[in-house]
Structure 1
């Protein structure tokens, strides 16, 4: 009988040593960093309590949102039990090793939190499911969240579970377009306009614009001035880009004297979006007709119901007359034309067109004005486009962007005397 008791005692001690060896191995692998400085993970109690029957611990992680976005609050649920009927284990510790991409908020029931580890305690666990919850906030900069949970009890092998979920990066966009002359006389100045825009609904961070100047050109200047100049690359650091925010950058260079095609490349990058880019080609010629076109608005931002005046100017900066030129102004959606000067040759619901005839190289820039009222809805960008063309001549395209503010709601205020 004494021998049997010693055998039983040695078996229990061996089992206990195996349990702690298993816990130590587990923590030294995947969870070693999290367990550092937490010796309580290795020792449950000084005097272990033997289990009832032969329990097998079980823990399962679930989450209330399996595809959260940065900034969302999510709730992890840890469900635990023993898998054998009528069994029980004692001095239970339940650990949640939180992902690095979350911020701890709270636990239910209250638990101990330290260095990314949430620890719950329970006196015992049996075959009936029990659960605890952990509320966290998802941080920016992480594409996925991997959560580990572990349950231990006296003299019973531990169990663990893991849950990997993706982080849904909110829809966001970057857009960069470039406009300028389609042709230029060699040796003359060329002005490129870079339009950088965030048409999405999420702020992007650390926006950077780079313009790679064409080979053979000479840099003259830019507005606004670049943050860095390392020719042929110009760099602007724009910072955070709010939804619907946009910036225009004008870069001026001198064209090469040799005829040919030069290509300008612009790049826009911001977190968390990947880089986007655009290219623009200009043909360098020694003689010919080159029509130029610019477009300006009376305001960079308007409210619903406001009048907006578009001013178009066109001229010929080539060496030959452009004959039978035609200028077309494509209107944004949800605007109503209330005035034009001069009267267009063609009027439709989407565009206006003027047959402007011959455009001489010696003529001063001519002007066309279009007045519209802004309708529709706020929180958008009006994109107006204009083109001028003539047979045998190089034409030009012009863009203009105007922000429409969100509608303002004014509530009445009633003052009462008492």
Structure 2
């Protein structure tokens, strides 16, 4: 490009600026003519220098105990895995070349990197790792294509295909030029261009997405030296100052998937170079110098540079997972011209092959007993059979036999393995596909009641296709049970009440039922139902037997299998609050299958309770008196109101109304508690405890003659009154009372003188 005129570069840069301002410039030449003008030769015969060893094979070694793929805790560490290259026949055999070996890590992972296009096998040799016995396993043929070996594209740094930019440095008119433009196609959303001419002549230019679209072109005239710099450091609108943290800590490794940078690039001569600096912050960065292939100038070759090959440029080097800025500088031989089409991240193409080490068996269990209805104290023989339907052999097989209490071990005989009566574990060992084993256990029946004896496969090394060892799932075929039932009874009690919220003073009826679920008759049956405090016995009616309200015992007698009896107890509620009335079987001659008489165990079915809750209740009464019922006119009289609460609960919010009748004038009042309002005639008493009382004295002057009735009554209370209703003017109720004062009539003066 030494013959290219600097004036042409100035014109092209001006055209780029006009394009950025929105002016349309029609190209005057076809693309092929432009390439010729720029001095770029066509490269149809050139071979791209793309990376060819970014194939990788990885996988996990684990013990798939459930057959549903990998689960946490199934990984196997330290397993040896081998990599072989196929000899061309597509079959794993002795002719294949052993290329490498790896040991699985703590997560069970192995990996082979740096693989070129070709056919491979990975092999897990037979080995024992701790408690895991691994059998030989060889993968199917793994083919890595040329495209896969060329790597997998990661995130783009810049594609140069949207925003147009151009900067030119020309001696002597303009030795530096810069441009910072929004570029959505670039990392960070802004691309900064900067050129600086350090020579005494010549021209330097950077041109993005110009006449040659989607390309970064870099040019230098024959005598030009200086700086040509592209920077990605975030949206700072500044192309001259680096912001080393402007990208905000992006991860160039794409979470570990990308391992290097790929450039599609070309130059017009040898020894052109690109220097890439990657910054984490102002102190730490890494640098790499990348040779630009001589393509005649066009960007037709790809160059891959591994991140691991970057050198420390400052501090401790860049953290490629925390990148704040990227710089690309055209370096190397002076006056190099060329193009950059794409800069992006690139990583291996990974093929995954796991070694699951999955084996399966189908264990099933059957259990029988020689006598399901033995006599109490007799012996029974339980027979357990375990079978394996394959397809693989089962190893490490144990069964757990679980008899209910009331059965005592006598002896056992196993067709293979051994039975421990203490742990109740039958250690079977191995069962080949299609084989079975048996165990006979002899036991005595010590107590009455049904006794279920269950058995289940407790452990096995292989996955079972339709059951899980040790999960106590009775629906699975590795679990079975039988029951023995000696003679017994099964008494149960129910209890209800006619009301759950009876008021104090009302009656409530309790209904008690006792039933025998058998299978045998129950004799000597008694049920205790003692009334709790706050309930007073009224009557008891039994369908059979008799009820003693003194002891609370209902003597039922005999109940046949399936028989039942009832008792109704009626009681009066004497106090408020919650009361629990409990009935339970207190005696029976036969053992009960699932409960014990008279043990106060609420969870057993021979005991039942009901709760009743009576709201708080009070009994307010009021009396009224006067110190003289025949006062003279102008005299004072004193009315006394006595208020009492007979309970059973504290009365709150009590108001008493006493309005003086006409002819009486209020003089004063003295309440023992609360306050009296002469205007409304209301005595605000407040709370009166059960058994408590309060009083009020009202002094009034007698203003007129004639009978005067003074009435006081409870006007309000926070609780229900047992025998009266506040403020209902019912003279017959005990919360209201009246007195009459009768001052004499004044004698006529005329009549007096006539005498």
TM-score of the two chains, using structure 2 as the length reference: 0.22
TM-score of the two chains, using structure 1 as the length reference: 0.39
Q: Point out which structure has higher relative CO (alpha carbons under 8 A, 6+ apart).
A: 1
